Structure 1
Amino acid sequence: MLQEQETDFRDILSLFGVAFSSVRKDIPLVGSPERCGWRQVLEAEDGCLWVLEQLKEGQDAWRERVAQVLAVLAENQCPAVVPYEKVGEKFVLHHSSSSWQLQPYVSGEALPRPEYIEDAARGEAVAEFLAGFRTHAAGLAAPDQSEPFSLNAYVQELSETLARGRQDVYAPLVPVLRQLLEWEELFDSAPKALCHGDFHPLNVIWCKGRVEAVVDWEFMGLKPELYDLANCLGCVGSEDPRALVRGLCRACVLSLRDKGVITKQNEHTLVPLLLGLRMAWLSEWLRRHDTEMLEMEVQYMNIILQNRAALERIWGINA
């Protein structure tokens, strides 16, 4: 079986102009493996390492469009963006009844959890990436989406689902859901920009505390300007809500404020986005039937809502 797999890998990589040598199962990958059907590190005959991804059915067109944007960002020297390899004029290879993408492997180091939440230097590194990405992505067209993501629609749909079938979750979330629905106009009118769409420290390849590369661009698109920051803060704070006002989070917010990414025009959207994006994580725990994480998420969302003014004061925004 392994010999058959290696024959397939040899054929696939050869179409990308790479000579296959071996499978490197000893090398772990960061990010979310469910973003594709399968992914693995492979070594070429010249010693270079590559990440081969087998796409899920129906991913081809979207992955092609995302790869086109990443290629332009890389050409523009946007830091931490790793482009996919081309086959002819395409970034998706169709071979053996499957679709494939190939990307150079970027070496990094494990993120120290939960210690990283106190690391202000990492917060500044995150801010450096987000500010650089905003600069390099300015004026760049987002990948075409037939149905652009709507936070309002997502909140409304999940609220109705909870009200119908999960009163145990819905009842303690009523204050949060009511406030999110009141922010409908705020979410719609927030200034928009091209965003990664799922940016957080576990989707970063770290090297000596620096952002070496960012992975899993599957949810890239035109979103509220502070979307990526809000998602990142929310993920760090989920380790410990107190982390929102110190360490990585505080340093990141203060740095982005100084860099002009957080502005008078968008600062009022940060905490609402932070809270709204936790709905996606709530949905994830529901899908996994993870009762413990569901309970923690409900508590966390109420903490964010109740402490909005304190968060904004400590971050020095929306005064």
Structure 2
Amino acid sequence: MSDPLRPFGLVFRRDRPDLPIPGSPERCLSRRVVEDSAGSLYLLESLAASQLAHRQTVAACTAALARAGLTSVAAHLPCLDGGFVASKNRLHIQLSRFAPGVPLPRPDYTLRPEPGQALGRFITDLRDCAARADLPPQLPNRSLADYATTLMRTLAAAEPAVFSRLAPLATAMGAFLDAEPSLPRALCHGDLHPENAIWDGFDLVAAIDWEFVGMAHELYDVAGALGCMGIENPRTFAAGAGAAMIRALRDRGLLNEDNLRWLRPAVMAGRLGWLAEWLRKNDREMVEMELDYLELLAR
């Protein structure tokens, strides 16, 4: 495409290789920051054909949330034809808003309350906006219970040493996983953690990488964010970002006596996906760290 922004009703001015791109580069074929003729910045991603159906759904969801008033979303822009992917020959591209930011100082941020407060506000705002958004009907419905069962069966056959350490922890997660299919459901970002956000100091500007957005149990994003902060510094649960996030969610009514009892096992269950990812990458150091962390959470 001579002007990659034309399908979106914009005019390309220049690439911006000077701007670092946060988030995971693995979720598309390539990506770059571009600037249009008005000086606005966008993230332009090239997609594989196999991604198109799901990415249409993801983009429709972020756009719907933005229309419903969620300001902290890096929303996708529609094409002039109403879709969210522009295709020509074998090239498929998608456009979303881009805001430059500065990564949080790791792991020091875990002992600051502000990031936890910001993540708590985001989860609350997401819940409020999702309730009035015109969400696409094709959003996936995620089940941790099914995932955990499949993973344990796979590990028993392919990774017996990992399975032998994980199996005793099933008791700490068991009641939660049994209850999970019947817990209240909510729209969740699906991969919420501090690195999947753009930050201005300790203020959350926008959540990014919505690849796993969908319906899940109501603690899914809470547990995911807490789990990622805790593995960097477990002290965050007592003082710092983790504790502040819990307080913010209690103050807003998203955490209460009914669901707080599930929070610790939900954090543990949320780490199973990370364990599987380290195994897929054959990162044995991170596999050991993840198992150590799960054992700590089970105490």
TM-score normalised by the shorter chain: which range applies? Answer: over 0.9
Q: Find the partner of 1:26 among 10, 18, 39.
A: 18
* Residue of structure 2 equivalent to 1:63: 55
Which one is further off, 193-202 or 34-43?
34-43
1:162-210 residue CA offsets vs partner (Å, 9 max, x unmatched): 1112122111212113443443321112111111111110011011311
Deviation at 1:92, TM superposition (A): 1.2
Task: Provide TM-score, normalisation by structure 1.
Answer: 0.88
Residue 106, structure 1, aligned to residue 108, structure 2: no
Structure 1 residues not aligned, in runs of 5+: 1-7, 307-319
**Structural mapping, 1:217-236, within 5 Å:** 217-236=210-229
Distance 1:68 1:147, change over 3 A: closer
Match of 1:196 in 2: 189
The 1:143–1:178 alpha-carbon spacing in structure 2 relative to 1, beyond 3 Å, is farther
> Do the aligned residues in 2 keep the contact of 1:159 with 1:177 (CA within 8 Å)?
no
1:80 to 72, 79, 93: 72
AA aligned to 2:37 is: E
Which AA in structure 2 matches 1:120? P
- Per-residue deviation, 1:281: 0.3
Following superposition, the deviation at residue 251 of structure 1 comes to: 0.5
Please tell me whether residue 216 in structure 1 is matched to residue 209 in structure 2.
yes
Identity of aligned residues (%): 38
How many residue pairs match? The answer is 298
**Structure 1 position 54, deviation (Å):** 0.9
Instruction: Please give the alpha-carbon distance, in whole angstroms, between the structure 2 residues aligned to 1:184 and 1:48.
Output: 45
Runs of 4 or more above 6 Å deviation: none
**In the alignment, is residue 119 of structure 1 matched against residue 112 of structure 2?**
yes
Alpha-carbon distance in 1 for matches of 2:139, 2:255? 29
Q: Which residue of 164, 176, 197 corresponds with 2:157?
A: 164
Aligned counterpart, 1:305: 298
TM-score normalised per structure 2: 0.94
Q: Whole-Å Cα distance in 2 between the matches of residues 148 and 259 of structure 1?
A: 25
Q: 1:37 and 2:37 equivalent?
A: no
Q: For the aligned residues, what is the CA RMSD?
A: 1.7
1:150 aligned to 2:155?
Answer: no
Which residue does 2:5 correspond to in 1?
13
Partner of 1:285: 278
Deviations 1:287-308 (A, max 9, x none): 11111100010010011111xx
